[in-house]
A and B are shown apart, each in its own frame.
Chain A
């Protein structure tokens, strides 16, 4: 076994895995990695199962010391990861020598990076899962964000004979994933529309022809969008009903909210629609002041794109095992 010591916590660093299944009916948020695509690819690159915990780093990443040799992969945002003066490349498996201190500089592109360690991170599963539930204060590391002084147990993967701090391990190409997430300056997120959910036709049309700006109050619960409010007749509250990750709500102030992993399970605001699952990771990579637009997509097309991702991920896993 090796140890990982948190020297500095970063802005918001939590252990995350997949979303919890079967818990929304108890009012428990499904949670999990906000960008589940990057989480799953990082795990695949180091040979982990999907549900191994990764460390989700937000904007300003943590400073971590590895007390044993480790095989890691870093996927998602480019947060300026380096060991000493060597940049740590994303989207591939990398070996770090024992004693290496992984730290992050200024965020360069995207909001959330996922650090996977071969063998996963040894914390107990709660409700069948290692994701951190901040509201319920359980899961991950004691249900909270990482703090300086925290020590985590991880597997050590010795690579005898290699002397560099950072060594790249032969990995299958994942360039296509990186391109999908390396956002153009104003990405267009695709939304499966909902009919008759309390929003007038004028606002529905305005939603897909407005350029929004991500507000600083955005977090793991959701993206809050600033910009011109969607105006129209009074928006009535709806009877509380279930919502999902990717639901786009429209509160009375006319500023849409895109729900992310830590959303509350029910809501009373009118709904414009739900993000296609393949675009939730892109939403999770938006930073305050980023601009974003929306477009409609059919449910069939959205499902088809998600299934294609699953197939590609399975191929990646097979290639890593080979």
Chain B
């Protein structure tokens, strides 16, 4: 990292959101910066901020135009000017940032009826199913952001040797807790939905509960590990939210 300040550009997205873009690739450092900016905007206390949504290399700020109207310039221009000071990097060294991340462990029953595509992935990758499990559970992943479905994590850090294309035909129903691979991505389905990912296992851990605050067990920036557990424990497992 040569520069202490990542360049970004910002532009309106429709008439009630602005998008700050910090890069155009999937990159852990740029993503960490995007998450920092999102937290800074939420802490800023500026009026009319409806939501702040980070992604790999960008953050979208939803705002209420009424809160920024009746000023000298258009609402989105006023908002961007007010936000920019909050998006400068903080003085402390970059390395401090990683100490703030939480560690999350996701128990997974790999294979069998809970991972119907494990053997297919193994064949595609030219390794045994055990090797797939070993590599998948050896990595430390990072939650780049949540999207697609409530609590669904976009995870950085899949071993490239495990990349497997999506199923040509999606399943009409994927069970909640299913752990899958699609292309170079891995993730966990928080809810039963249709899905085309290759399913290699399933976790009994609940990832989404709308009665809780926050409603998702994972948050952007979390470090995540998958730990193999056996099927017997799955049936009996009652994984509490706060474990």
- The distance in angstroms between the C-alpha atoms of A307 and B74, with both chains bound, is 12
Asked whether any CB of chain B lies closer than 8 Å to the CB of A23, the reply is: yes
In the complex, are the beta carbons of A195 and B220 less than 8 A apart? no
- The distance in angstroms between the C-alpha atoms of A307 and B48, with both chains bound, is 14
| Residue on A nearest B183 in the bound complex, by CB | A237
A274: which B residues are within 8 A, CB to CB? 13-15, 17
B64 → chain A closest CB, angstroms:
9
A27: which B residues are within 8 A, CB to CB? 146-152, 190, 216
Output the residue of B55, B58, B191 with the most chain A CB within 10 A.
Answer: B55
Of A99-107, A156-164, A298-306, the stretch lying at the interface with chain B is: A298-306
A307: which B residues are within 8 A, CB to CB? 65-66, 69
B52: which A residues are within 8 A, CB to CB? 25
B196 → chain A closest CB, angstroms:
13
Task: From the candidates B60, B76, B150, B220, name the one contacting A136 in the complex (CB within 8 A).
Answer: B150
Asked whether any CB of chain B lies closer than 8 Å to the CB of A265, the reply is: yes
B147: which A residues are within 8 A, CB to CB? 27, 240, 242, 264-266
Task: From the candidates A137, A194, A303, name the one contacting B65 in the complex (CB within 8 A).
Answer: A303
In the complex, are the beta carbons of B208 and A136 less than 8 A apart? yes
Asked whether any CB of chain B lies closer than 8 Å to the CB of A48, the reply is: no
Given A25-B51, A310-B66, is A244 in contact with B75 using a C-beta cutoff of 8 Å?
A: no
| Residue on A nearest B144 in the bound complex, by CB | A240
Output the residue of B53, B75, B145 with the most chain A CB within 10 A.
Answer: B53
In the complex, are the beta carbons of A24 and B62 less than 8 A apart? yes
B191: which A residues are within 8 A, CB to CB? 135-137
- The distance in angstroms between the C-alpha atoms of A135 and B192, with both chains bound, is 9
Task: From the candidates A133, A137, A239, name the one contacting B25 in the complex (CB within 8 A).
Answer: A239
* Total interface residues in chain B, CB < 8 Å: 49
In the complex, are the beta carbons of A241 and B58 less than 8 A apart? yes
- The distance in angstroms between the C-alpha atoms of A88 and B35, with both chains bound, is 51
A318: which B residues are within 8 A, CB to CB? none
Binary interface encoding of chain A residues 19-36 relative to chain B, with 1 for a CB under 8 A from any of its CBs, else 0:
001111111101000000
In the complex, are the beta carbons of B14 and A247 less than 8 A apart? yes
Asked whether any CB of chain B lies closer than 8 Å to the CB of A260, the reply is: no
Binary interface encoding of chain B residues 7-22 relative to chain A, with 1 for a CB under 8 A from any of its CBs, else 0:
0000111111101000
Given A22-B50, A25-B51, A26-B150, is A242 in contact with B60 using a C-beta cutoff of 8 Å?
A: yes
Asked whether any CB of chain B lies closer than 8 Å to the CB of A76, the reply is: no
Binary interface encoding of chain B residues 94-130 relative to chain A, with 1 for a CB under 8 A from any of its CBs, else 0:
0000000000000000000000000000000000000
A267 → chain B closest CB, angstroms:
9
Asked whether any CB of chain A lies closer than 8 Å to the CB of B154, the reply is: yes
A300: which B residues are within 8 A, CB to CB? 74
| Residue on A nearest B212 in the bound complex, by CB | A127
In the complex, are the beta carbons of B13 and A26 less than 8 A apart? no
Asked whether any CB of chain A lies closer than 8 Å to the CB of B38, the reply is: yes
Binary interface encoding of chain A residues 287-305 relative to chain B, with 1 for a CB under 8 A from any of its CBs, else 0:
0000000000001101100
In the complex, are the beta carbons of A299 and B208 less than 8 A apart? no
Given A135-B150, A303-B15, is A242 in contact with B56 using a C-beta cutoff of 8 Å?
A: no
B217 → chain A closest CB, angstroms:
10
B11: which A residues are within 8 A, CB to CB? 194-195
| Residue on B nearest A245 in the bound complex, by CB | B14
In A138-158, which residues have CB < 8 Å from any B CB? 138-139
Residue contacts A-B, CB under 8 angstroms, 6 given: A21-B50, A26-B146, A27-B151, A126-B210, A274-B13, A299-B76
6 more CB-based (< 8 A) A-B contacts, given A25-B53, A303-B65 = A24-B53, A24-B60, A27-B216, A240-B147, A264-B148, A310-B66
